[in-house]
Amino acid sequence: FWDFLILFFCLPVVIFNEITKKRLLGDLSCRIVPFMEVSSLGVTTFSLCALGIDRFHAATSPQASARPIEQCQSIIAKLAVIWVGSMTLSVPEILLWQMAQDTSPVSGVATEYCAMKPSSNLPESVYSLVLTYQNARMWWYFGCYFCLPILFTVSCQLVTRRISGTEKKTECRGTKHSQCESHLNCTIIGLTIIYGLCTTPENVCNIVVAYMSPDMSKQTLDLLNLINQFFLFFKCSVTPVLLLCLCRPLGQAFMDCCCCCCEGCGPDTASSEGSADSKLKTEMSSSIFFDKPRESPPPLLALGTPC
């Protein structure tokens, strides 16, 4: 959902700015766009950490195949912590950026751009905090939004594989539960790889700009910033598709919803039977995928009545 917000709001603003050299929505977009982009990195980072912890708990559970489904309130609480925490850590971006104007020496046309410069109208204490954040922004990006999710995911995967290899040597490897566990692990690894590949150019550019900024022209800095935003939009576009492709129950449920919307409200008997069978398969696969214990079928009742 946050990737959708980035593509829906930030992408048109960036394209409009590159075409017209005018900032859409003025100073508001100059502050909100970096805030949403950094919040997107935080949401992805902490979500990958939460998924790694979930896979570790699944591997260390005494009865992994009989783990109950997590309650909706618990999931909403975790999502709230991830989102609120990511947005809180991104608040300095709102105070760090402001809109500026520059006149081209060749064409003489005034262009608007976002400058990373705290406003002098801020209180002295807030101004010093924002200035400290600006000085440590490069290493904060590199440590929290790049090293943390990658190292955390790799560590959780290694520990999970070690525990699964030592405790399940005697179990059958071809069970549906083990296959679903491997699908989950592949999904998390795939998301981490995409995230790492898309955030690497931004971190490299931040380090280059931090140490070579006086020797670089404004056109080069703008080009590097545009490349960073392109990779961010690419990540936001690929991540949902990758998630739907690797997570089979989620992808099947998404396709069922799309088919239901296309077929209309009046399916015939054959289609209803097919949809019922597809729904049954989806429920069975999702119950296995999310470690839901299989319910034993009810006992057969004797024919006749006690009378």
Q: What is the CATH number of the domain that holds 77?
A: 1.20.1070.10
**Residue-level pLDDT at 263:** 60
Q: Note the residue count of the chain.
A: 307
Q: pLDDT category, 250, cuts 50, 70, 90? A: confident
CA distances to 65, 97, 165, 178 from 175, rounded to whole Å, are 10, 54, 15, 5
Q: Which residue has the higher pLDDT, 166 or 253?
A: 253
Residue 178 scores a pLDDT above 70: no
Q: d(Cα 289, Cα 282) in Å, to the nearest integer?
A: 10
DSSP states of 77-115 = HHHHHHHHHHHHHTHHHHHHEEEEEEE-TTT--EEEEEE
Q: What is the mean pLDDT of residues 248-254?
A: 75
Query: Which residue has tokens 């003489």?
Result: 108
Q: Rounded to the nearest 5 degrees, what angle is found at the Cα of 100, between the Cα atoms of 222 and 217?
A: 30
pLDDT at 176: 64
CA distance 172 to 73: 34
Token look-up 């490299």 returns 204
Q: What is the pLDDT of residues 64-123, one digit of tens each?
A: 555 567 788 888 898 999 999 999 999 988 888 887 777 666 666 667 777 788 877 888
Closest Cα partner for 193 from 233, 243, 144, 159? Answer: 243
Task: Judge whether residue 244 has pLDDT over 90.
Answer: no
pLDDT given for residue 288 in this prediction: 39
* Pick from 81, 100, 86: nearest CA to 31: 100
Closest CA to 203 of 148, 133, 141: 141
Q: Which amino acid is at 80?
A: A
* Domain range enclosing 216: 1-61+70-169+181-256
The angle formed by the CA atoms of residues 185, 190 and 193, to the nearest 5 degrees, is 125
In a domain, 285, yes or no: no
pLDDT-wise least confident of 31-40, 46-55, 128-137, 254-263: 254-263
Q: Rounded CA gap, 17 and 110, in Å?
A: 13
Residue 295 belongs to a domain:
no
Torsion (CA) 8, 10, 11, 12 in degrees, nearest 10:
80
The rounded mean pLDDT for the chain is 76
Query: What was the pLDDT predicted at 213?
Result: 66
Query: Using an 8 Å Cβ cutoff, are 163 and 60 in contact?
Result: yes
What's the average model confidence in pLDDT over 125-130?
Answer: 87
Q: Domain for residue 9, yes or no?
A: yes
Amino acid, single-letter form, for residue 89: L
- 97-103 and 110-116 beta bridge pairing: antiparallel
Contact 61, 67 (CB under 8 A): yes
Residue 223 vs residues 17, 18, 103, 228, 257: alpha-carbon distances, Å: 13, 11, 18, 9, 41
Q: Is residue 208 part of a domain?
A: yes
Residues 211 and 139 sit within 8 Å (Cβ to Cβ): no
Residue 99 backbone dihedrals phi, psi, to 5 degrees: -85, 140
Domain count of the fold of the chain: 1
Q: What is the pLDDT of residue 86?
A: 92
On whether residue 279 sits in a domain, the answer given is no
**Percent of residues, the chain, with pLDDT higher than 90:** 8
pLDDT at 286 over 50: no
Q: Is residue 276 part of a domain?
A: no
In the chain, helix, strand, coil percent, each to 5?
Answer: 75, 5, 20
- In contact, 33 and 137? CB cutoff 8 Å: no
**Residue of 277, 272, 230 whose CA lies nearest to 6:** 230
Assigned domain for 165 exists: yes
Is the model's pLDDT at 62 over the cut of 70?
Answer: no
In a domain, 201, yes or no: yes
d(CA 189, CA 191): 5
Q: Give the pair of three-digit tokens for residue 103.
A: 């006149």
Name the band, by pLDDT with cuts 50, 70 and 90, for residue 167. low
